[in-house]
Amino acid sequence: MQGAIEEHEAIFKKMGVPTLRVKREKHLEQVSGIVFPGGESTAMIRLLKLSGLIAPLKYWISECSMPVLATCAGMILLSSGVDNFENQETLDLLNIRVKRNAFGRQIESFEEPLTIKGFSQAFRAVFIRAPVVTRVGDDIGILASHEDKIVMINRGNILAASFHPELTSDTRIHKLFLQRIERWVDSQNFRAQCS
């Protein structure tokens, strides 16, 4: 609905994967995974409320375990709360708290080779007004940190990164997401169970 949608679409197109912009509840029945892109988290939550998508998204993600990739603002959106914006609404789908703009403003954006658990080579991470994870629940796996700050986590069907993998030519994070989709689709008659 808002944010770095085109950049994610371009990565998936390069990988031969069709995409659909989810703007209505009926669209959730036509996809096998969902990306919450970088952008403006407060605008995203407002648009999700206006479109009536909050309850359906929570159902598909929590009850049906639909695979999710959340980047930057997407991570904020899925968190249980924001330390430096206490009144910000979130979807509360991840047992984490975050801090917005933890590395500074847009002008202080940077790229950094990042060691990600499970990857044999560093990933060139692009940080733009990036959040960091300040608190994790027991069900959260930490996949990457930068300067002792948590920047990528995993929980079941959800991958969340505070950086922008869609702004690089490295498709490994998107491939990891697609592998989760394939396993989810293969593991159950998910349409019959969740539609």
Question: For residues 25, 182, 155 and 96, what is the CA-based torsion angle, rounded to 10 degrees?
Answer: -40
Measured CA to CA, the distance from residue 70 to residue 149 in angstroms comes to 17
Other C-beta atoms closer than 10 Å to the C-beta of 117 total: 11
Task: Name the active-site residue from 8, 146, 166, 174.
Answer: 166
Amino acid (1-letter code) at residue 136: V
Residue in 86, 93, 83 with CA at minimum distance from that of residue 137: 93
Measured CA to CA, the distance from residue 117 to residue 180 in angstroms comes to 16
Cβ–Cβ under 8 Å, residues 72 and 164: yes
166 is catalytic: yes
Residue with tokens 């770095």: 4
Task: Name the active-site residue from 8, 9, 146, 164.
Answer: 164
164 is catalytic: yes
Task: Name the active-site residue from 9, 72, 146, 174.
Answer: 72
Which sequence positions are flagged as catalytic?
72, 164, 166
